Amino acid sequence: MFGFGRKNEFPVEGRVIVITGGSDGMGRAVATNLAGRGAHVVVVARTVSKLQSTVEEMRRVALNSLKQRFFYISADLSDAAECDRMIAEVTGWNYGSGPDVVWCCAGFCHPGFFTEVPISIQRQQMDNVYWTAANTAHATLRNWLAPVPPSAQMKNPRRHLIFTCSTLAFTPIAGYGPYSPAKAAIRSLSDTLSQEIEMYNGAFTQRHRNSAPAADVKIHTIFPMGILSTGFDNEQKLKPELTKMLEDADKPQTPEEVAQISISALERGEYLITTMFVGNIMKGTSLGPSPRNAPIGDTVLSWLSNLVFLQVIPDLRNKAFNWGKTNGLPNVYPKEEDETPQATTPPS
Ligand SMILES: NC(=O)C1=CN([C@@H]2O[C@H](COP(=O)(O)OP(=O)(O)OC[C@H]3O[C@@H](n4cnc5c(N)ncnc54)[C@H](OP(=O)(O)O)[C@@H]3O)[C@@H](O)[C@H]2O)C=CC1
Ligand SMILES: CCCCCCCCCCCCCCCC(=O)[C@@H](N)CO
């Protein structure tokens, strides 16, 4: 699974794992996969009925149903206070210790051309995509990095904070303006934290001092392509035809596939994780200053990807230009929510 003779960098059996957005799509598939590997799982989202059905499913597939514990918390994670409450509740449920792994999957996409989507919806995208992740990270890291006495400083297993991004953080596609910037912001936060966390990990190596965190922490970010989920069905209804054409190279994966591939990559200890070949090429052209999974492999990947993208970048722009040339302007939607819808031809 993680290569012959190599250590599993992501052991989950008997560990306490929180999954935000764990009631549907990829998050639910991650939750049931980890339940099948013996983890204690807490799923967090807003709608109670979907959370309850996920807990039932986890009980059904659990590796050791007598020992494993499952829990759900209903919370709107775009609210920072709700994230603090969520981490406090998990800590209470886990007999006073914080969780071992927190995996942020919450979020959904509202596609559309930038000028046609009301600004209020674009702010909601930032709230539900970026802030659900940043608030969760903030609450989690404040719990994990608080100094504890030497008796509470664990020798090993590391803790893991995992973000779920999108390959759209690597490559622009017209029609994702309300969404991609929020995912790009998650990538930037992940890169910043992956550096900042080293200070705390350094302090942890001095763990017999009075002030050290309870354990080492590792950051990871997953970059899926399309995922066949409830969220995907909703976004397809809003998606411009041009966008569907530009992302034609994407062959959406099932939530279960994405969960399995992501977990295998975590077991290999990867940092920026893609789930298929085209996603890997998109990552390669955009590696920038992010930490590499493998110095030589990633460098060769970035050289090849940069060559491929010499053709891909103008190709995407040409397709957009030709779309306009053939079809003219898209449907004109009201520019502000409080304006009455405008007809394309105003009455005389
Ligand atoms: N589907 C796709 O094609 C792709 C998706 N992604 C990303 O992967 C992740 C999973 O997507 P997908 O599988 O489509 O998920 P779904 O849309 O199927 O499910 C989203 C989950 O997030 C929860 N959620 C949404 N908003 C909030 C909120 N404010 N607070 C708490 N929970 C919330 C939902 O529950 P509830 O509504 O009850 O709160 C649900 O559990 C997302 O971050 C998405 O952006 C990345 C690439 C492609
Ligand atoms: C050989 C290399 C060629 C590269 C060509 C570039 C093709 C672009 C494909 C865009 C795919 C977008 C997937 C993410 C979707 C997403 O995040 C939303 N569905 C959100 O839910």
CA gap 101, 31 in Å, rounded: 12
Dihedral, CA atoms, 339, 345, 346, 348, nearest 10 degrees? -170
End-to-end CA, the chain:
69
pLDDT tens digits, 267-303: 999 999 999 999 999 999 999 999 999 999 999 999 9
Pocket of ligand 1 contains residue 78 by CB under 6 Å: yes
Query: Ligand 1 centroid vs 340 CA: distance in angstroms?
Result: 31
Pocket of ligand 2 (CB under 6 A): 109, 166-168, 171, 173, 225-226, 231-232, 235, 247, 249-250, 278, 281-282, 308, 312
Q: Which residues, 6+ apart, have CB-to-CB distance to 344 below 8 Å?
A: 331, 332
Mutate to test the pocket of ligand 2, among 282, 309, 312 (most ligand atoms within 8 A of CB): 282
Element (H, E) at 267: helix 255-267
The residue to mutate among 24, 130, 171, having the most atoms of ligand 2 within 8 angstroms of its beta carbon, is: 171
Q: Which of 208, 179, 172, 201 is nearest to 317 (CA)?
A: 172
pLDDT of residue 67: 97
Tell me what pLDDT residue 52 has.
Answer: 98
Q: What is the pTM of this model?
A: 0.94
Percent of the chain exceeding pLDDT 70 equals 92
Residue nearest to atom 17 of ligand 2 (CA): 166
271 is annotated as an active-site residue: no
Strand partners, 44: 20, 73
CA–centroid distance, residue 105 to ligand 1 (Å)? 6
CA of residue 231 to ligand 1 center, whole Å: 6
Q: Find out whether the beta carbon of 136 lies less than 6 Å from any atom of ligand 1.
A: no
Which of 108-117, 139-148, 310-319, 335-344 is predicted least confidently? 335-344
Residue 134 scores a pLDDT above 70: yes
pLDDT single digits (tens) 214-272:
899 999 999 999 999 999 999 999 999 999 999 999 999 999 999 999 999 999 999 99
Mean pLDDT, rounded, for 28-43: 98
Q: Specify the pLDDT at position 155.
A: 67
| pLDDT tens digit sequence for 178-200 | 999 999 999 999 999 999 999 99
Position 269 scores a pLDDT of: 97
Q: How many residues does the chain have?
A: 348
Is 45's C-beta closer than 6 angstroms to any atom of ligand 1? Answer: yes
Across residues 50-66, what is the average pLDDT?
Answer: 97
At residue 147, the pLDDT reads 87
Q: What is the per-residue pLDDT for 336?
A: 54
Q: What is the rounded distance in angstroms from the CA atom of residue 206 to the CA atom of residue 322? A: 61
- Extract the runs of DSSP E, i.e. beta strands, from the chain: 16-20, 40-45, 70-74, 101-104, 159-164, 217-223, 272-274
Within 141-279, strands assigned E span 159-164, 217-223, 272-274
How many helices (H) does the chain have, and how many strands (E)?
11, 7
What are the two backbone dihedrals, phi and then psi, of residue 255, each rounded to the nearest 5 degrees?
Answer: -55, -40
Mean pLDDT of 78-83: 98
Instruction: Please state, for a pLDDT cut of 90, what percent of the chain lies above it.
Output: 86
List C-alpha distances in Å: 274 to 186, 237, 280. Answer: 15, 26, 6
